[in-house]
Chains A and B, each alone.
Chain A
């Protein structure tokens, strides 16, 4: 059944058939093979064989023309003669592998000298397979079909990768849009009331953060403030935080709790937000400030970031150990009160601000945060916050905090 070399040679097909269909229009039904060989008779013989196998065939008579055709037509498989003037087969292979547009092309290198060393060199210089000019028709068919199979797999892989990349980009855009929404929930810095300045910082660890803070206006003399931290990172904590912040709106609290008392609010929130089936929960610090008497009322649930920096220089953490929300549905949260003085600063913060690891893993910690707040005591409130975050970044060694960082500070005019 030896038919090699006996079929008629269709030299008219040479290069003229190129440019008829673009690479992207190719269907699985007809795959394209490119034959690059400076020897017209052997090139035509191979072309006829591949056409009989049902492939669309392109031909080039030297390495340079072959490379051009490969770049333009993106054939599924290229059969490349080793020995050619100027640009030989292995050099074409090397150029193809260096070209990011076509580097994944399937190439079979063909030669009359199939010594093991030569096979090794051909493969090392970028060929996918090797074919002897003396190979039987069965072997040629089998290797071409194997090459086409590999080309099909690579094409599908490339499609899948492109699709994943497009979907990833769409998800990123969605996340950015959701992140802008979360930021829009945050209160603008500035004067909350005459004599009461607010500054804040918000640095989510990924696009979407689970930390949230806000200011509630009860009366012209009474302000509420909270900072909450949803356990975990990413989309789910951000959604849960946004839903919790809706619960914490002034009108809803009056309706559901009937009080502006921080302990009563957290006790009700604890009932409303049980642990999720994955054990996710919130920690929160909630304060109310009576601006006439400078009395601070506060309650915390598993949240330690409530720091009072007195004008005298004294710094204290006000929170006592307490259960996070949802840990015990029957728990009662108590309000504690303390007196503020003009010039005092109060910070509500997430632990992401001070649980910052150095490159060796040592945590920055609350003591170093205190030091940096003291250093910036004479600066305006917003600058003091920026100073502390800068110091934490310096400790971290870069600007990408491992956990969400949220902090809101207020200062009573002195």
Chain B
């Protein structure tokens, strides 16, 4: 399945709404969308994954990669509302140790304010 991304500003950062699968096939699209945001100087990025049904091993690597890249520019990435299957995959790889996971957007935005 292909991927659609749409961004939306929030106080201090940007929410990237992702629809589709975060997989090897969609890696370039995801990287491009995220890099575009980072290179504008945005420091806080919320990945809304409510409409992501599947993340494969390449997708996990991309999440770690964008998180590392934002940290390098003193920013932070967080994940919003992962579906249960995606959440399970992320737990097995201990992703929450690297990237905060939130169930509502307000908490994610507040998380940024604290980090800032």
B-binding residues in A (CB < 8 A): 229, 231-233, 275, 277-281, 283, 302, 304, 321-324, 326-328
B27, B31, B68, B93: the one contacting A324 at CB < 8 Å is B93
Instruction: Please give, as numbers and ranges, the residues of chain B lying within 8 Å of A327 by CB-CB distance.
Output: 64, 93-95, 98
CA distance A327 to B62 in the complex (A): 10
Would A328 and B58 be within 8 Å (CB), given that A275-B64, A279-B64, A321-B92 are in contact?
Answer: no
Would A280 and B97 be within 8 Å (CB), given that A304-B92, A321-B91 are in contact?
Answer: no
Instruction: Please give, as numbers and ranges, the residues of chain A lying within 8 Å of B95 by CB-CB distance.
Output: 323, 327
User: Chain A interface mostly helix, strand, loop or mixed?
Assistant: loop
A-binding residues in B (CB < 8 A): 24, 27, 31, 57-58, 60-65, 68, 91-95, 97-98
Are A280 and B92 neighbours in the complex by a CB distance under 8 Å? no
Are B62 and A279 neighbours in the complex by a CB distance under 8 Å? yes
Instruction: Please give, as numbers and ranges, the residues of chain A lying within 8 Å of B24 by CB-CB distance.
Output: 232-233
Are B58 and A231 neighbours in the complex by a CB distance under 8 Å? yes
B27, B63, B97, B98: the one contacting A278 at CB < 8 Å is B27
B27, B60, B61, B97: the one contacting A328 at CB < 8 Å is B97
Q: Which residue of chain B lies nearest to A323 when distances are taken between CB atoms in the complex?
A: B94
Instruction: Please give, as numbers and ranges, the residues of chain B lying within 8 Å of A304 by CB-CB distance.
Output: 92
Are A231 and B61 neighbours in the complex by a CB distance under 8 Å? yes
Instruction: Please give, as numbers and ranges, the residues of chain B lying within 8 Å of A279 by CB-CB distance.
Output: 27, 31, 58, 61-65
B31, B62, B94: the one contacting A302 at CB < 8 Å is B94
Are B94 and A322 neighbours in the complex by a CB distance under 8 Å? yes
User: Chain B interface mostly helix, strand, loop or mixed?
Assistant: helix
Instruction: Please give, as numbers and ranges, the residues of chain B lying within 8 Å of A322 by CB-CB distance.
Output: 93-94
CB distance from A283 to the nearest CB of B (A): 8
CA distance A327 to B95 in the complex (A): 9
Most buried by B among A277, A278, A280, A327: A327
Are A323 and B98 neighbours in the complex by a CB distance under 8 Å? yes
A233, A278, A321, A324: the one contacting B60 at CB < 8 Å is A324
Instruction: Please give, as numbers and ranges, the residues of chain A lying within 8 Å of B63 by CB-CB distance.
Output: 279
Are B64 and A326 neighbours in the complex by a CB distance under 8 Å? yes
Instruction: Please give, as numbers and ranges, the residues of chain A lying within 8 Å of B62 by CB-CB distance.
Output: 279
Are A231 and B57 neighbours in the complex by a CB distance under 8 Å? yes
Are B93 and A328 neighbours in the complex by a CB distance under 8 Å? no
What are the nearest 10 A-B pairs in CB distance? A279-B61, A279-B65, A231-B57, A279-B62, A327-B64, A323-B94, A302-B93, A321-B94, A281-B61, A275-B65
CA distance A321 to B96 in the complex (A): 11
28 A-B interface contacts by CB (under 8 A) = A229-B57, A231-B57, A231-B61, A232-B24, A232-B57, A232-B58, A275-B61, A275-B64, A275-B65, A279-B27, A279-B31, A279-B65, A280-B58, A281-B64, A283-B93, A302-B93, A321-B93, A321-B94, A322-B93, A322-B94, A323-B94, A323-B97, A323-B98, A324-B61, A324-B93, A326-B64, A327-B95, A328-B98
Q: Which residue of chain B lies nearest to A320 when distances are taken between CB atoms in the complex?
A: B94
Instruction: Please give, as numbers and ranges, the residues of chain B lying within 8 Å of A231 by CB-CB distance.
Output: 57-58, 60-61
CB distance from A36 to the nearest CB of B (A): 52
Instruction: Please give, as numbers and ranges, the residues of chain A lying within 8 Å of B58 by CB-CB distance.
Output: 231-232, 279-280
Instruction: Please give, as numbers and ranges, the residues of chain B lying within 8 Å of A232 by CB-CB distance.
Output: 24, 57-58
Instruction: Please give, as numbers and ranges, the residues of chain A lying within 8 Å of B97 by CB-CB distance.
Output: 323, 328
Q: Which residue of chain A lies nearest to B56 when distances are taken between CB atoms in the complex?
A: A231
CB distance from A32 to the nearest CB of B (A): 47
Q: Which residue of chain B lies nearest to A319 when distances are taken between CB atoms in the complex?
A: B92
Q: Which residue of chain B lies nearest to A322 when distances are taken between CB atoms in the complex?
A: B94
CB distance from A411 to the nearest CB of B (A): 27
Instruction: Please give, as numbers and ranges, the residues of chain B lying within 8 Å of A323 by CB-CB distance.
Output: 93-95, 97-98
CA distance A277 to B61 in the complex (A): 10
Q: Which residue of chain A lies nearest to B90 when distances are taken between CB atoms in the complex?
A: A321
Instruction: Please give, as numbers and ranges, the residues of chain B lying within 8 Å of A281 by CB-CB distance.
Output: 61, 64
CA distance A302 to B97 in the complex (A): 12
Instruction: Please give, as numbers and ranges, the residues of chain A lying within 8 Å of B93 by CB-CB distance.
Output: 283, 302, 321-324, 327
CB distance from B28 to the nearest CB of A (A): 9
